[in-house]
């Protein structure tokens, strides 16, 4: 599985025949709402030209579900599997077309081309927020989505996670670095990838103290 960091919480997973994009934010939409949250890293248009097979959204906040980004992937001619919780599902379906809009709330499982997607609990200000586990039959990847440390989350998480991708910025109802490190220790994944930093702030992954940490670089492959 090839994994590329798209910035903020966006990830591109690629298998031999599937492209999976999670929470892409590739516009300036947030700045229009709050000028303080301007992009520190410019959009690379090549990622807007991708034809994804699967889109996954974890919740309905503009830096995770961004219509200005999504319009590059969904239209009346596209045929994309879209997995999203209720808060996003009611909005993203407005793109119409031949896309398969699947309601993907907590504990929902969807299998596509032998890749299993499982929605798990997240604790965030969007009450429908989810995390997602991607199981390719060989390894399990856990994308927490935006979340605080909540002990109920661990009831949903298997013990054999290969890599966990989690927020560490400590604002907007996300874990701070101390709690994210405790969360990662509890998950006990082989690799820990901090996200949600460096786009609207100057926070660095260097400051996140956690064993087995992999520091992602925006628009670069995450090598696990």
Whole-angstrom distance, CA of residue 46 vs CA of residue 186: 37
- Tell me, what's the pLDDT at 192? 98
- 3-state percent helix, strand, coil for the chain, nearest multiple of 5: 20, 25, 55
Per-residue pLDDT of 88-144, as tens digits, reads 999 999 999 999 999 999 999 999 999 999 999 999 999 999 999 999 999 999 999
Q: ∠ at Cα 165 (129, 178), nearest 5°?
A: 90
Whole-angstrom distance, CA of residue 80 vs CA of residue 78: 6
Whole-angstrom distance, CA of residue 118 vs CA of residue 78: 24
Separation in Å, CA 29 to CA 9, 68, 91, 197: 15, 7, 16, 17
Per-residue pLDDT of 12-28, as tens digits, reads 999 999 999 999 999 99
- Tell me, what's the pLDDT at 33? 94
For 4, list phi and psi in degrees, rounded to 5: -120, 135
- Tell me, what's the pLDDT at 162? 98
Please tell me the pTM assigned to this model.
0.97
Per the listing, tokens 């966006």 go with 10
- Tell me, what's the pLDDT at 156? 98
In the chain the domains, ranked by start, together with CATH numbers, are: 2-207 (3.60.15.10)
From 7, 140, 138, select the one nearest 64 (Cα to Cα). 7
pLDDT, the chain, mean: 97
- Tell me, what's the pLDDT at 219? 97
- Tell me, what's the pLDDT at 147? 98
Per-residue pLDDT of 183-224, as tens digits, reads 999 999 999 999 999 999 989 999 999 999 999 999 999 999
Per-residue pLDDT of 31-75, as tens digits, reads 999 999 999 999 999 999 999 999 999 999 999 999 999 999 999
Instruction: Answer yes or no: are the C-beta atoms of 148 and 180 closer than 8 Å.
Output: no
- Tell me, what's the pLDDT at 180? 98
């Amino acid at each position: 599985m090839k994994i590329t960091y798209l910035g903020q919480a966006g990830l591109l997973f690629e298998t031999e025949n599937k492209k999976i994009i999670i929470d892409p934010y590739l516009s300036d939409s947030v700045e229009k709402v709050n000028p303080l949250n301007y992009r520190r890293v410019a959009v690379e248009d090549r990622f807007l030209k991708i034809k994804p097979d699967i889109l996954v959204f974890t919740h309905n906040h503009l830096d995770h579900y961004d219509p200005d980004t999504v319009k590059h992937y969904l239209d009346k001619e596209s045929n994309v599997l879209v997995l999203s919780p209720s808060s996003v599902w009611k909005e993203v379906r407005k793109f119409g077309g031949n896309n398969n809009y699947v309601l993907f709330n907590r504990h929902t499982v969807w299998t596509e081309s032998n890749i299993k997607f499982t929605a798990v609990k997240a604790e965030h200000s969007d009450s429908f927020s989810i995390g997602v586990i991607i199981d390719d039959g060989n390894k399990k990847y856990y994308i927490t989505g935006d979340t605080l440390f909540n002990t109920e989350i661990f009831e949903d998480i298997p013990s054999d996670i290969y890599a966990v991708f989690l927020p560490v910025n400590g604002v907007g109802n996300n874990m701070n670095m101390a709690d994210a490190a405790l969360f990662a220790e509890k998950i006990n994944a082989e690799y820990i990838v901090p996200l949600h930093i460096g786009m609207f702030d100057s926070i660095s992954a260097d400051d996140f103290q956690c064993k087995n940490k992999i520091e992602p670089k925006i628009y670069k492959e995450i090598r696990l």
